[in-house]
Each structure stands twice: as structure tokens, then as C-alpha cells.
């Protein structure tokens, strides 16, 4: 069975996400007045919280695991875990040095140590999981049986993974991606009637759900149960959304995302999704692109959310500031990356036997 580039794609994407989160908000660069790597010889930071240490450890666990998986089968066992730690330490030192030039960040040798420890734990986990994930285990068999082979399909699966990650942002409408207002203008606007928001959210949720489903359908094998797979992706997205609200907001607001507009959008989106996957491949590609752009326009023109504006102040502040910036970046850029992918697939043409 041909080796899949999927772990390397995930690793490359994760490195970019870590770099963005570490340097967010990427503004106010100035000369620190000291050598960039001077922090390595400093004493331990005086003010440090258990949350900071745990966050730095956990943030590099996926890096270590992905690094070990990307090295498999060329490098296995302890050497693979060791390379993961060395790479993580090098990345962490470089990012901490860059943080020295940001007034809102403080370079820390303790962060480097915590990052390296997290990469070690992740590297060991990746080494242990590699035979199951990349050998002849059930996950690789599922990849081979359910999805078409090739790097193009792996790129599509990477995009789906990023779309699921974008659902961690509770500030967005259900499945609402492509909001650029934070990058170019004040997202606030005049208040509108709740019914208008219900209509906008329903259209946004339904359009994005159908577009993502059509994207998934073109990388699924003809023999695979495509509708069951699409429902699985939908359930995963809803689980991620629920998890975001459960962790970042109060427990009683776990299902606050399930607004009237979201409910209507889900009903319409599921019905259209199950029917649209039967369309010819070319039509699915075109329809997915149109729906993505239409939903992006609606997201950027949508009125303020009358249901979640107040409680999302918790998400805007505190320990989740960097994670907030990261999820917003992925959410803002995702539809444009997906559109480029759809254009790539359309330009390649190909038969229904290549990409579904």
C-alpha cells in the first residue's frame, strides 16, 4: 500500500498554526534591547500559572505525535521520538525569540522546556500509534477503503480537518466561516430584528454544510457509504461545536449554539446534502464553490448575534486570547482555501474513477 503524505500535511499545517498562535496578535513589533536568545540563560519566570505550563505542554503534544508519524516508516521507535523533541525545541526556541520583539509576549525558557516535554509525550504516543495508524491497522484500512488514493484526496481530508477545527470558535455562526470583518473593519454594526439573524444563520449553516458535504463527496470512493460518511462528518462538527461551548463558556450554555437559525439551517442542509451528493461530479464541484462564496458573503453581512454577544465576552479575554486568534484565522481563511482546492479539482478534470 502506497505511503500517504497525510501525516506530513497535518504536521506542516500544525506548525503554521503553532507559529501564529505563539505570535498572535502579530502587532507592535519593537527592539527588545537585548539579544533575541538571551532568555535561554535567564532564571525561571517569577509569575507563572499552572494553566500556562499545562497549555504549553499540551500545545506541543500533537506536534510530537505528528512528527513521529511523519517520520514513519523511515524512522521508528526512540530515534523518531528524539527527533520530534529536537524539532519541537528548535521551533519553540525560534518562536520564543520572536516573541522577544512583541510587547504583549514574554520569552520564557520554561515555555521551551514545557514545549519539549509535550513533544516528548506526543512523540512517544506517535511512535506507539504509528503501526496502528499507518501500518496495516484499521485506520489505514478505513482510509484506503473509504477514500480515493492520492495526495489530492489527502489535501481534501486536511481541509476537512481544518474545517472541524474552525468549529471551536464559538463566536462564529454555526458552520459560518470566512468572516473577514475582524481583519479589515469593526465587526459591530447596528442592531436588527432577531428574525433577520435567524434567516441569515439558517442560510449560512445550510449552505456551508452542503458545500462541505459536496467537497467530502468528491474524495470518497464510489463503493463507500457516502451518506453515512457525511453524517459522520456532521456529527463530528456538532460535537466539536458543543465541546467549544462546554469548555470555554458556562456549562448551562453548552447548547447555546443551537439557535432557531441553526436548527432551521441543519434541517434544510441535511435534506439538501443527502440529495446533492447524487449529482454529477462537475455539478457538485460548481455547486460547492457557489455555496461557499454565497455563505461567505452572508457571514460578512450578517447582523450582530442577538443570542451570544454577551456571553462571548468570556471567549474574547483571558487565557484563550491566543487560541481565539488562531481559530478566527482558520475560520476566516478556510472557504478561500477550499475554493482554491475545488478549482484545482475542476482544472484537473479526471474521470469519476479518479476522484469521485
CA 300 to chain centroid, in Å, comes to: 20
Q: pLDDT tens across 249-261, in order?
A: 666 678 888 888 8
Residue 115 pLDDT > 60: yes
**CA nearest 108: which of 96, 119, 92, 118?**
96
Q: pLDDT tens across 59-100, in order?
A: 899 999 999 999 988 888 889 999 999 999 999 999 999 988
User: Percentages helix, strand, coil for the chain, rounded to the nearest 5?
Assistant: 70, 0, 30
**CA nearest 210: which of 196, 225, 230?**
230
Residue 32 pLDDT > 90: no
DSSP 342: H
Residue 311 pLDDT > 70: no
Domain ranges of the chain: 6-144, 150-348
CA 230 to chain centroid, in Å, comes to: 18
| Total-model pTM | 0.78
Q: Decide which of 143 and 119 is more confident.
A: 119
Return the C-alpha cell found at 356.
469521485
At 135 the pLDDT is: 67
Amino acid at each position: 500500500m502506497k505511503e500517504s503524505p497525510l501525516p506530513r500535511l497535518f504536521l506542516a499545517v500544525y506548525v503554521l498554526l503553532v507559529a501564529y498562535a505563539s505570535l498572535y496578535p502579530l502587532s507592535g513589533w519593537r527592539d527588545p534591547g537585548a539579544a533575541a536568545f538571551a532568555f535561554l540563560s535567564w532564571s525561571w519566570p517569577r509569575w507563572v500559572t499552572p494553566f500556562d505550563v499545562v497549555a504549553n505542554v499540551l500545545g506541543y503534544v500533537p506536534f510530537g505525535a505528528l512528527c513521529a508519524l511523519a517520520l514513519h516508516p523511515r524512522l521508528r521507535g526512540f530515534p523518531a521520538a528524539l527527533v520530534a523533541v529536537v524539532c519541537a525545541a528548535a521551533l519553540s526556541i525560534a518562536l520564543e525569540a520572536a516573541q522577544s520583539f512583541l510587547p504583549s509576549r514574554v520569552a520564557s525558557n520554561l515555555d521551551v522546556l514545557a514545549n519539549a516535554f509535550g513533544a516528548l509525550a506526543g512523540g512517544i504516543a506517535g511512535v506507539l500509534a504509528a503501526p496502528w495508524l499507518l501500518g496495516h491497522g484499521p485506520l489505514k484500512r478505513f482510509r484506503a477503503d473509504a477514500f480515493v488514493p492520492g495526495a489530492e484526496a489527502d489535501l481534501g481530508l486536511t481541509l476537512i480537518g481544518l474545517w472541524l477545527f474552525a468549529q471551536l470558535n464559538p463566536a462564529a455562526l454555526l458552520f459560518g466561516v470566512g468572516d473577514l470583518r475582524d481583519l479589515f473593519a469593526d465587526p459591530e454594526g447596528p442592531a436588527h430584528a432577531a428574525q433577520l439573524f435567524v434567516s441569515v444563520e439558517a442560510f449560512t449553516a445550510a449552505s456551508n454544510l452542503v458545500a462541505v458535504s459536496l467537497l467530502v463527496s468528491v474524495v470518497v470512493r464510489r463503493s463507500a457509504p457516502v451518506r453515512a460518511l457525511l453524517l459522520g462528518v456532521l456529527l463530528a462538527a456538532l460535537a466539536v461545536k458543543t465541546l467549544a461551548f462546554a469548555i470555554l463558556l458556562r456549562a448551562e450554555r453548552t447548547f447555546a449554539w443551537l439557535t432557531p437559525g441553526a436548527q432551521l439551517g441543519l434541517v434544510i442542509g441535511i435534506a439538501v446534502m443527502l440529495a446533492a451528493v447524487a449529482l454529477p461530479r462537475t455539478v457538485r464541484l460548481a455547486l460547492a464553490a457557489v455555496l461557499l462564496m454565497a455563505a461567505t458573503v452572508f457571514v460578512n453581512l450578517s447582523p450582530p448575534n442577538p443570542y451570544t454577544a454577551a456571553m462571548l465576552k468570556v471567549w474574547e479575554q483571558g487565557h484563550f486570547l491566543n487560541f481565539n486568534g488562531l481559530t478566527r484565522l482558520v475560520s476566516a481563511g478556510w472557504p478561500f482555501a477550499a475554493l482554491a482546492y475545488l478549482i484545482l479539482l475542476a482544472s484537473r478534470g479526471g474521470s469519476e474513477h479518479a476522484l469521485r
